[in-house]
Amino acid sequence: MPGANAAGTGEDLLVIGINHRTSPPELGDRFGLIEADLDAALDELKSRGLRDAVLLATCDRIELLSRDRLAAEFFAPVVAARLGVGAGVIEAALYRHDGAAALRHLCAVASALDSQVLGEPQVLGQLRVAHRAAVEQGLVGDELEGALDTAYAAARRVRRETKIAQGPVSLAAAALSLARDIHGDLTERAALLIGPSEMGELMAEQFRRAGLTRLVVCGPEQRARRAAQLLSSNVVPFEELETAVAAADIVIASFGNGRAILTKAGVATALRKRPLKPIFVIDAAIPSDCEPGINDLDGAFLYGLGDLERAAMAGRAEREAASVAAWAIIDAEIAAHAARQSERRAVPAVVALRRHVESLRDQALAEGGDAEAVTHRLINRLLHDPSEVLRQLAGSADDIAAMEQLLRRLFRLGGEEKRQE
C-alpha cells in the first residue's frame, strides 16, 4: 500500500482479516456465508466479550475493525467455525494493520482502492451495512465512529474528485458503457441474445442489472430455453431471427458455430424496418458471428471482443492513474482526522485551565478591594505557578528554551520567529 508511513494516527485501531489475495481460492467461495448471516456472527463475537467492533463481510473480504485488543484472539476461531474450516486455515491467510496503518486501510477499503475491481461502488454500501449492524448491537464507540466517518469522507472525495470509477474494467462493463453512449438510458431498450455462449449470458446479465427489462433469447431450442430461464426472459424461435433483430436495440451475438449468423444484408434489412433507430451489435462469439461489413451500415455499430478488450484496458489504465490522486486524498483525510483527535485530547486541559482561572478570580473578588487591587492580586496569582516552574527549569537550557517558546505561542507574545532562528 503506497505511503504506509503517511501522517496521521488511528490511535489503537486494529484491522484483522482475510481477503481475495490472502486466502486460498476454495475459501473465497464461502465468504458469502458470513455476509448472509452477519448479525449472527456479530452476536457470537459479542457473546465472547468483544466490544467496540465492526465486522465487514463481502464476497472478497472478511474483516474485523476494532479498538478491542481481543479482536485478534476471536477473529480466526469465529470465522473458521462459520466457514466450516479449521482455525489454522484462517490464521494462515490473516493480515493485520494497527494504528495509522489500520485507519489508512479502512479508508482504502471504503474508497475501493483495495478491491478486486479498482473503484467498484459496492464496497462502500457494504461497509455502511456492517456499520449499522454493529451500531444496532451497541458495538460502536465514539472513537470507532470517528474512524468510520473519516473513511466515509475519504470515499466521498475520491468519488467526487477523481475518475476512479469512470472507466469500464471488464468486457461486459465496456459493452454496457458503449450501449449507453449509443442509446442513453437502457430501461426502455430491447435486447436480443443469440446463441448463447457463457460470455453472451454474462453480458446479458450485466445489461439486466443495469435496468434493461426487455430481453429475448434466440438459438437452438434447448440451449435458448436454459439461458432464458436463467435470465428471466423469453425465447424466440431461430426461424424468427430476422424479425427479432429488427425489434432489438442491442444484439448480443454469441453462437460461435463457425459461420456468420448476422450478415451485412440481414442487418441492413432490419435497419430499414426501424428508421432512425440504431442497432448496437456485440460480437461475443469465437469464432465470430458477424460480418465485418455491418460496421459500414449507417445506424449499425458493431463491436467485437477485441474492441471491448481495448476499451476495458483503457478504463483500467484510467482508474490506475486516478488512484494516485485518490491516495493523496486519503492521506489528507487521515491528517485531518489526526488533527481532530489532537484537538479532542486538548479539551480536558483547556477546561481545567478555565476552571482554575475562574477559581482564582473568585478568590480575588472575595478578598475585597477596588478594581485595581483585585486585578493586581489576580495577575500575581495567575503568574505565580508558571513563574515557579520556569525557575525550576532554569538549570536546563533545552527545557527553558522550549518552555519559553511555548509560552510565546500560547499568549501570542511575539518574538517566536526570532527565537526559533
Task: Return the active site residues.
Answer: 59
Element (H, E) at 95: strand 95-98
At residue 325's C-alpha, the angle toward residues 324 and 329, to 5°, is: 120
Please answer whether residues 112 and 124 qualify as being in contact, where contact means their C-beta atoms are separated by less than 8 angstroms: yes
Q: What are the residues facing 63 on neighbouring strands?
A: 17, 56
CA distance 408 to 223: 83
Closest CA to 318 of 166, 170, 180: 166
- Rounded-to-integer distance, Cα 100 and Cα 68, Å: 16
Cα–Cα–Cα angle for 121, 125, 128, nearest 5°?
145
CB 308 within 8 A of CB 175: yes
Looking only at the bridges linking them, the beta strands covering 279-283 and 250-253 are parallel
Helix, strand, coil percentages (3-state) for the chain, rounded to 5, are 60, 10, 30
* Cα–Cα distance, 170 to 234 (Å, whole number): 27
Pairing state of beta strands 250-253 and 190-194? parallel
Strand partners, 282: 252, 303
DSSP for 234-294 reads EEE-GGGHHHHHHT-SEEEE---SSS-SB-HHHHHHHHHTSTT--EEEEE--SS--B-GGG
Residue type, position 201, single letter: E
In this structure, what C-alpha cell is assigned to residue 306? 477485441
Cα separations (Å) of 133 from 35, 40, 187, 384, 409? 12, 10, 33, 54, 46
State the first-to-last Cα distance of the chain, in angstroms, to the nearest integer: 38
Find the angle CA(169)-CA(171)-CA(172) to the nearest 5 degrees.
100
In the block, cell 489503537 appears at 12
